[in-house]
Amino acid sequence: MNEVSAQAPRPDGELLPAGVPRQAGAGPEAPAPRGPRVAGPLGRAVAAFTGRVLGRHQAAVVRIGFGLVWCVYLLREWPNRRVLYGDRSPLSLDLAERLLGDDGAFTVLPWFGGRLWFELVYHLAVLAALAVLLGWRTRVSTVLFLVTVLSLQNRDIFLGDGGDNVVHLMAVYLVFTRCAEVWSLDARRARLGRTGRTGRTGRTGWAKWTGVALWAVLGTALAVCQFGDFSGRSLTWTGRAFPYLGWAPLFWGLWTVAGLWWVLGRLRPDGEPRAVLDALATMVHNCAMLVIAVEVVLIYATAGWYKVQGTRWQDGTALYYPLHLDYFTPWPGLSALVGSALLPVFLISYGTVIVQVAFPFTLLNRRVKNVLLAVMMLEHTGIAVLLGLPVFSLAMIAADAVFLPTGALLWLAARASRIGAGRIGAGRIGAGRFGAGRFRRTP
């Protein structure tokens, strides 16, 4: 659902998803007949929502951001992994299973137990985060990312600093987005496939069968886990809470849709079933992006209004206390310097509340929203440095990226490409000079 889908130009200049059949004889002279359209802004909004992948660049930045956050966290805590989630955890596996039995949270760690199984899951989490970061086989990697995030975080729910909740939610939402449309290995592979550049060893053909092999292996693994006795109540078909569905329908549904997508793409790439499937995937993506945006707005709105009710935020001294706690002072000298200045503490405390409360209302004005978004990202950077909460800050910055303007993202990408091309060109020139110098004859 989140792999690259090519779009074909229509004679009237609009875009159609890949696979939409054209009318015979349609061309610039004979435009394709249109069905009934709803006039006005509502009609244009419905057409865009159902026929265009919205927020492709924002979805890519969110994917990259959360893949980076989870990968950095796992690598940073690698020496402590057994104490946090493994066999040395203060919360034993038996206690964790009893707690999971009460709330029905999903995790694969209790299936086998033991250190070997934990090590496999933990290092699979690192690989899944890297795959999501690079955008490699995102239909598979986002599902593995979801499984590993839930498995490790639900092993001990008492860990985390708030950023884990954001990663938890975004891991679910990313599965339903087409977050590899741009800036990913999937996009590069699709671009090479469209231009016919298969490489010396036919990499495009191998790439297609790699996806089939992954699909078959994961289907077999899911069947073994589903019908084995070790999965317990994790892979159930029904749930006790709304929507009363367990995890089994989700995983089997994603697996089935991925197989159907590949079959229709091979057998009937220009047929109506593939076009309908592509349109449904586009609508699901747009809905997921809307949910991500609403989630970010709710985070800031609830945080701001709860701060309004706090007495320390009302008198402007809320920032003073964490700056004098050893747990939140990675740089004691810097924290003491900032905490000793009463006016900056007062202004930052009040400014934080004003920004968080006002952010949902600034969405009505693009320029004000962009300014406030930059302020919030700078604020999270300050939290990471002053209070020592890098995972929380990176997670919130990655979530804020859903509101970044497309023009700014394209400008940053172009600048990064120029810098990268300049370095590669300089390296080639240096290598050429070095090679010429090696074989130059001395008089």
Q: Whose CA is closest to 56, among 48, 44, 45?
A: 48
pLDDT tens for the 443 residues of the chain, in order: 655 554 444 444 444 444 444 444 444 444 444 444 555 777 777 777 778 899 999 999 999 999 999 999 999 999 999 999 998 998 888 888 887 776 778 889 888 878 899 999 999 999 999 999 999 999 999 999 999 999 999 998 888 778 899 999 999 999 999 999 999 999 998 888 776 665 544 455 566 678 888 899 999 999 998 888 777 778 888 877 767 788 889 999 999 999 998 888 888 888 888 888 988 999 999 999 999 999 999 999 999 999 999 899 999 899 899 888 888 888 888 888 888 888 889 999 999 999 999 999 999 899 999 999 999 999 999 999 999 899 999 999 999 999 999 999 999 889 888 887 766 666 555 555 444 444 344 44
Both tokens assigned to 213: 């092999």
b/e burial code for range 278-306 (CB count within 10 A of at least 16 → b): bbebbebbbebbeebbeebbebbbeebee
Residue 26 is predicted with a pLDDT of 42
* Bond preceding residue 344 cis, omega within 30 of 0: no
Cβ pair 110, 229 in contact under 8 A? no
What's the rounded Cα separation, in Å, for the pair 27 and 32?
Answer: 7
* DSSP sequence for 4-32: ---EEE-TTS-EEETTPPPPTT-SSSSPP
What is the rounded distance in angstroms from the CA atom of residue 438 to the CA atom of residue 443? 14
> What pLDDT shows up at residue 250?
92
**Quick one: pLDDT at residue 15?**
47
pLDDT given for residue 157 in this prediction: 84
pLDDT reported for residue 358: 93
Distance, in Å, from the CA atom of 177 to the CA atom of 2, rounded to the nearest integer, reads 5
What is the DSSP code (8-state) at residue 359? H
Torsion of CA 371, 372, 378, 379, to 10 degrees: 160
